[in-house]
């Protein structure tokens, strides 16, 4: 018997599949499509185990879909713009372009060595001018629709990456990429107006039935909808200052008023007063502290009195106006009504500065009138609130809002946490923002026919000193498209998340030359039926991609409003209980594994060791187990082929029927498991079938096997195995003498009658405890079950001298006898 030579087999079939282009597809309206997509990789040079897991899962889904008769789109590409390319340039003096394309070549080879069934001819590389041109085109369309604007404000700045970051890219006060503490900088930057789509982005989450609840919750929290009211307070000079509050019911308990230190009104209020000096000092201090102090767990609240008072619209009371570091300019209106009795932060602030605390909500069954040691933030009955006294707080909130509305001093309002998406990056290796600054005409978008704005190659990339493009004279200096006078180009590039926000649309028609994608192709393929990737993209990428899709739909370019119908978030691959990392020295290199055991073993193990959503602990012994299994498959299939040449096949005896039953049972189990992504148990079911096949020889004796049966077992086994271990399945399929690829074969169907056992073990319980197991016919009636159970010898010792109270019968499963 020839040995299982995985290296030879895998090379052979990868070549054949490529030559025959067996996964080629076209938009065929007669066929039902399936768009299977895994998040495309950043070309860092080598694939890691996370990629192997991601792409192995996707490949099973794609191959299964194809065998089920769907027209399957399963593309791959590279998210090729980004910082690591520039870092490599600084470190090794390689040009980012060269570094990136070389890495893509390496990674493409590695992905091919895994035997993944991609539509390779649809590859998308985001740093290709053919692709980024359309990113610029979309930027201009967004600009025309008023979804792009430039604004001066405080932004997150990473001093290590030397660029600004979007809010989503700040994690725990540090840069999402390098963890450097993020600073605040006052800069003029480009923004995408994602807040125009807050409503649909939030509400359409409900439509995403195929998304994990967890991801939807994370997006929901990120968007952060709060219901409450806008309330107008009036300064002594008659000027109105509006606040947002979620608790209008506590309005009577407002004992002071707070402004964000950056609030524009502050200057006006203190100018020329004795308070000016302290306020200025305080503001400077806050400006310096910013994120560093704000990230520590328990921060003391600091503030400073402005010397002015403001009038509460419900009771006309004058309360002092302070500025406080915990009031954020970016949320709400940058002003807050402080109710220390019912807000923890206000309470701490009031205690520190000895400001009055007034109870206005009385909780049920508790007397708080003797003083508070902490704020009461729950519901209750309103007190000290004039005509609203005695009202439940929830009702009171609405009543006060209604009252304010009548007085024209406020109204119900909804506020969101989501802020606009800052897309400017002071980096070279990204998509240039297609904007020109003209002294005469101001900000002028690049004309469509001048796209793409080509990213020049001849730049000097240095570690310090800002954007390299800004120093590139020929790039910067241009002419104004409007007045033809001298003008300067924008030198910032776009956040790379803009590139990954629409690549799934490009895959539908990757060679389209007149538009980002062909509308009819997109309408055929979209939405993505199954998207697979890491949980780390739960907010950023998935939110941005949803935003782009919605805008593109509103532009009339594609009909879908949500890009990904079903989402599978795979768990991390860990080793020794920790994420694989160079510094921990626990990295397992996929190339080594493929070299030692082959791609099929690598794929099989990674799918078998854990369900896709869960963490996967890498095990060197585990991979040997998978390797052992494939060898076992190899031997039994070859043995079956040989036996079927000389076996006897005159009818089926009990042992034959048992194996046939096992085949059908396994098809049923594997089909159901793959549909539900229980890939680990699907593989275990295939293992059981192989074990049953071995047992069959033991039971039967070598010479007496049924040849037709063994041919059928082989055929079904290889079809089931094909999505998981494509090379070995194909090789054995050929060895069997089959014409055509196993991967173009039909997914096997099962016969429910054949899958069913002829006999079942009837479980007999006394008071819920198993006392006997009796073999009975599978079509046993409930009456027979009861009779059989009660006649059990073993039961006697438990029922003797006791009264049978009740007999519970679960059809075709068990009988529970209740005794007393």
Residues in the chain: 820
Q: Between 345 and 398, name the residue whose CB sits nearer to RNA.
A: 345
683 neighbors 604 (Cβ within 8 angstroms): yes
CB of 94 vs RNA, minimal distance in Å: 32
Positions in 330-369 near RNA (CB under 7 A): 330-334, 336-337, 343, 345
Strand 303-311 relative to strand 256-259, pairing: unpaired
Q: Between 145 and 614, name the residue whose CB sits nearer to RNA.
A: 614
CB of 779 vs RNA, minimal distance in Å: 16
SS3 assignment for 618-644:
CCHHHHHHHHHHHHHHHHHHHHHHHHH
* 39, 383, 687, 718: which one binds RNA (CB under 7 A): 687
Q: Which range in 480-488, 551-559, 612-620, 741-749 contacts RNA by CB under 7 A? A: 612-620
Cα angle 16, 22, 26 (rounded to 5 degrees) comes to 155
* 684, 735, 788, 799: which one binds RNA (CB under 7 A): 684
Give yes or no for residue 398 binding RNA (CB under 7 A): no
Positions in 634-653 near RNA (CB under 7 A): 635
Give yes or no for residue 746 binding RNA (CB under 7 A): no
DSSP assignment of 540-572 = HHHHHHHHHHHHHHHTTS-S-S-SBSBEEEEPP
CB of 19 vs RNA, minimal distance in Å: 33
CB of 454 vs RNA, minimal distance in Å: 35
Our measurement of the distance from residue 333's CA atom to the centroid of its chain's CA atoms, rounded to an integer in Å, reads 32
To which H or E segment does residue 219 belong?
helix 213-223
Q: Between 569 and 741, name the residue whose CB sits nearer to RNA.
A: 569
CB of 301 vs RNA, minimal distance in Å: 5
Q: Between 74 and 537, name the residue whose CB sits nearer to RNA.
A: 537
Q: Between 236 and 813, name the residue whose CB sits nearer to RNA.
A: 813
Q: How far is Cα 422 from Cα 195, in angstroms, rounded to an integer?
A: 12
Positions in 467-496 near RNA (CB under 7 A): none
Give yes or no for residue 253 binding RNA (CB under 7 A): no
Q: Which range in 4-12, 446-454, 505-513, 680-688 contacts RNA by CB under 7 A? A: 680-688
All residues at 6 or more sequence positions from 656 whose CB lies less than 8 Å from its CB, including other chains: 700, 706, 709
CB of 619 vs RNA, minimal distance in Å: 6
Crossing angle between the packed helical segments 96-113 and 83-92, to the nearest 10 degrees: 110
Positions in 163-192 near RNA (CB under 7 A): 171-172
Positions in 420-449 near RNA (CB under 7 A): none
Residue 194 has which token pair? 């994602």
* 625, 707, 754, 786: which one binds RNA (CB under 7 A): 625
* 54, 56, 119, 245: which one binds RNA (CB under 7 A): 245
Strand partners of residue 228: 413
Q: How far is CA 766 from CA 78, 215, 791, in A?
A: 62, 45, 13
Q: How far is Cα 546 from Cα 562, in angstroms, rounded to an integer?
A: 6
SS3 assignment for 770-796:
EEEEEEEECCCCHHHHHHHHHCCHHHH
259 neighbors 283 (Cβ within 8 angstroms): no
* 19, 24, 213, 237: which one binds RNA (CB under 7 A): 213
Q: Between 202 and 218, name the residue whose CB sits nearer to RNA.
A: 218
Q: Which range in 277-285, 321-329, 359-367, 522-530 contacts RNA by CB under 7 A? A: 321-329
The residue whose two tokens read 């909804």 is 414
For residue 718, give the 3-state DSSP assignment.
helix
Positions in 747-766 near RNA (CB under 7 A): 761, 763, 765
Q: How far is CA 248 from CA 171, 258, 330, 417, 583, in A?
A: 32, 16, 21, 19, 52
Give yes or no for residue 293 binding RNA (CB under 7 A): yes
Q: Between 506 and 668, name the residue whose CB sits nearer to RNA.
A: 668
Residue 734 has which token pair? 């050929």
Q: How far is Cα 422 from Cα 420, in angstroms, rounded to an integer?
A: 6
Give yes or no for residue 214 binding RNA (CB under 7 A): yes
* 46, 160, 242, 678: which one binds RNA (CB under 7 A): 678
All residues at 6 or more sequence positions from 519 whose CB lies less than 8 Å from its CB, including other chains: 557, 558
Give yes or no for residue 578 binding RNA (CB under 7 A): no
CB of 62 vs RNA, minimal distance in Å: 22
Give yes or no for residue 786 binding RNA (CB under 7 A): no
Give yes or no for residue 206 binding RNA (CB under 7 A): no
Give yes or no for residue 621 binding RNA (CB under 7 A): yes
Radius of gyration of the chain (CA): 34
Give yes or no for residue 417 binding RNA (CB under 7 A): yes
DSSP assignment of 450-511 = G------S-----SSSS-GGGG-HHHHEEE-TTT-SEEEE---EE-GGGGGGSHHHHTTSTT
Residue 344 has which token pair? 């923890």
For residue 531, give the 3-state DSSP assignment.
strand
SS3 assignment for 351-365:
HHHCCCCCCCEECCC
Give yes or no for residue 244 binding RNA (CB under 7 A): yes
* 411, 561, 688, 712: which one binds RNA (CB under 7 A): 688
539 neighbors 222 (Cβ within 8 angstroms): yes
Pattern of binders to RNA over 695-734, x per CB under 7 A?
Answer: x--x------------------------------------
CB atoms within 10 A of CB 317: 14
All residues at 6 or more sequence positions from 534 whose CB lies less than 8 Å from its CB, including other chains: 39, 50, 54, 569, 570, 572
CB of 664 vs RNA, minimal distance in Å: 14
Q: Between 77 and 340, name the residue whose CB sits nearer to RNA.
A: 340
Give yes or no for residue 629 binding RNA (CB under 7 A): yes
Nearest to 65 by CA among 739, 687, 731, 677: 677
Q: Which range in 185-193, 446-454, 714-722, 770-778 contacts RNA by CB under 7 A? A: 770-778
CB atoms within 10 A of CB 31: 14
CB of 651 vs RNA, minimal distance in Å: 25
* 7, 90, 217, 454: which one binds RNA (CB under 7 A): 217
Positions in 78-137 near RNA (CB under 7 A): none
Q: Between 172 and 465, name the residue whose CB sits nearer to RNA.
A: 172
Give yes or no for residue 154 binding RNA (CB under 7 A): no
Q: Between 444 and 535, name the residue whose CB sits nearer to RNA.
A: 535
Q: Which range in 60-68, 209-217, 380-388, 700-708 contacts RNA by CB under 7 A? A: 209-217
Q: Which range in 133-141, 515-523, 620-628, 643-651 contacts RNA by CB under 7 A? A: 620-628
CB of 575 vs RNA, minimal distance in Å: 11
135 neighbors 163 (Cβ within 8 angstroms): no
The residue whose two tokens read 């048992």 is 658
Crossing angle between the packed helical segments 679-700 and 599-608, to the nearest 10 degrees: 110
Q: Between 408 and 797, name the residue whose CB sits nearer to RNA.
A: 797
* 209, 769, 783, 820: which one binds RNA (CB under 7 A): 769
314 neighbors 400 (Cβ within 8 angstroms): yes
Residues that bind RNA (rule: CB under 7 A) add up to a total of 90
Q: Between 325 and 518, name the residue whose CB sits nearer to RNA.
A: 325
Our measurement of the distance from residue 191's CA atom to the centroid of its chain's CA atoms, rounded to an integer in Å, reads 23
Positions in 531-560 near RNA (CB under 7 A): 535, 539
Q: How far is Cα 623 from Cα 601, in angstroms, rounded to an integer?
A: 7
* 43, 96, 228, 563: which one binds RNA (CB under 7 A): 228
Give yes or no for residue 153 binding RNA (CB under 7 A): no
Give yes or no for residue 808 binding RNA (CB under 7 A): yes
Strand partners of residue 765: 770, 816
CB of 53 vs RNA, minimal distance in Å: 13
């Amino acid at each position: 018997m020839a040995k299982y030579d995985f290296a030879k087999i895998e090379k052979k079939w990868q070549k054949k599949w490529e030559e025959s282009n067996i996964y080629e597809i076209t938009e065929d309206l007669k066929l039902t499509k399936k768009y299977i997509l895994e998040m495309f990789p950043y070309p860092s040079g080598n694939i890691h185990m996370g990629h192997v897991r991601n792409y192995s899962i996707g490949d099973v889904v794609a191959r299964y879909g194809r065998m089920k008769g769907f027209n399957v789109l399963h593309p791959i590409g590279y998210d090729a713009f980004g910082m690591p390319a520039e870092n490599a340039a600084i470190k090794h003096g390689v040009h980012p372009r060269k570094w990136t394309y070389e890495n893509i070549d390496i990674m493409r080879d590695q992905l091919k060595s895994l035997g993944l069934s991609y539509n390779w001819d649809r590859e998308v590389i985001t740093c290709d001018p053919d692709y980024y041109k359309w990113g610029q085109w979309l930027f201009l369309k967004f600009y025309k629709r008023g979804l792009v604007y430039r604004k001066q404000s405080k932004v997150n700045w990473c001093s290590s990456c030397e660029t600004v970051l979007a809010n989503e890219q700040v994690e725990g006060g540090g840069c999402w990429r390098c963890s450097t503490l993020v600073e605040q900088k006052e800069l003029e930057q480009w923004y995408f107006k994602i807040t125009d789509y807050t409503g649909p982005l939030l509400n359409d989450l409900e439509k995403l039935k195929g998304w994990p609840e967890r991801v939807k919750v994370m997006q929901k929290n990120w968007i952060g909808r709060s219901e409450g009211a806008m309330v107008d307070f009036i300064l002594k000079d008659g000027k109105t200052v509006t606040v947002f509050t979620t608790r209008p019911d506590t309005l009577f308990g407002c004992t002071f008023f707070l402004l964000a230190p950056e609030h524009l009104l502050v200057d006006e209020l203190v100018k020329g007063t004795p308070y000016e000096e302290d306020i200025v000092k305080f503001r400077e201090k806050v400006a310096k502290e910013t994120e560093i102090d704000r990230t520590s767990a328990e921060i003391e609240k600091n503030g400073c009195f402005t010397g002015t008072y403001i009038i509460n619209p419900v009771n006309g009371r004058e309360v002092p106006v302070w500025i406080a570091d915990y009031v954020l300019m970016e949320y709400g209106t940058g002003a807050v009504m402080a109710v220390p009795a019912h807000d923890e932060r206000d309470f701490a602030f009031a205690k520190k500065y000895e400001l009055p605390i007034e109870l206005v909500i009385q909780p049920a069954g508790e007397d708080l009138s003797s003083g508070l040691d902490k704020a009461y933030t729950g519901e209750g009955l309103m007190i000290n609130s004039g005509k609203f006294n005695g009202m439940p707080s929830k009702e009171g909130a609405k009543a006060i809002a209604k009252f304010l509305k009548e007085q024209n001093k406020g109204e119900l309002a909804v506020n969101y946490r989501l802020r606009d998406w800052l897309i400017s990056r002071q980096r070279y290796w990204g998509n240039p923002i297609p904007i020109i600054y003209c002294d005469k005409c101001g900000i002028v978008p690049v004309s469509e026919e001048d796209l793409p704005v080509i990213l020049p190659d001849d730049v000097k990339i240095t570690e310090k000193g800002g954007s390299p493009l800004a120093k590139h004279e020929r790039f910067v200096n241009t002419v104004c498209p409007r007045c033809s006078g001298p003008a300067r180009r924008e030198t910032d590039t776009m956040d790379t998340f803009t590139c990954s926000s629409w690549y799934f649309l490009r895959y539908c028609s990757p060679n389209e030359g007149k538009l980002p994608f062909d509308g009819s192709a997109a309408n055929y393929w979209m939405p993505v039926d199954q998207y697979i990737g890491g949980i780390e993209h739960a907010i950023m990428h998935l939110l941005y991609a949803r935003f782009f899709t919605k805008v593109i739909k509103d532009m009339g370019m594609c009909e879908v409003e949500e890009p990904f119908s079903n989402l599978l978030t795979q768990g991390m691959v860990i080793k020794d209980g920790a994420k694989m990392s160079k510094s921990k020295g626990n990295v397992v290199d996929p190339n080594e594994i493929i070299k030692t055991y082959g791609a099929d073993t690598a794929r099989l193990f990674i799918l078998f060791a854990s369900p896709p959503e869960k963490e996967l602990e890498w095990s060197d012994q585990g991979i040997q187990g998978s390797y052992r299994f494939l060898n076992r498959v190899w031997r039994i299939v070859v043995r079956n082929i040989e036996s079927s040449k000389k076996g006897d096949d005159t009818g089926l005896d009990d042992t034959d029927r048992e194996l046939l039953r096992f085949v059908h049972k396994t098809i049923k189990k594997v089909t159901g498991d793959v549909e539900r992504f229980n890939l680990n148990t699907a593989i275990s079911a295939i293992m059981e079938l192989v074990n049953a096949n071995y047992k069959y020889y033991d039971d039967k004796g070598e010479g007496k096997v049924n040849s037709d049966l063994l041919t059928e077992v082989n055929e079904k086994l290889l079809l089931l195995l094909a999505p998981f271990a494509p090379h070995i399945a194909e090789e054995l399929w050929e060895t069997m003498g089959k014409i055509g690829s196993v991967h173009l074969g039909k997914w096997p169907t099962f016969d429910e009658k054949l899958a069913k056992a002829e006999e079942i073990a009837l479980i007999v319980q006394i008071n819920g405890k198993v006392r006997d197991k009796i073999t009975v016919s599978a079509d046993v009636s409930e009456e027979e079950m009861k009779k059989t159970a009660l006649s059990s010898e073993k039961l006697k010792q438990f029922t003797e001298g006791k009264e049978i109270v009740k007999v519970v019968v679960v059809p075709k499963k068990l009988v529970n006898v209740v005794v007393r």
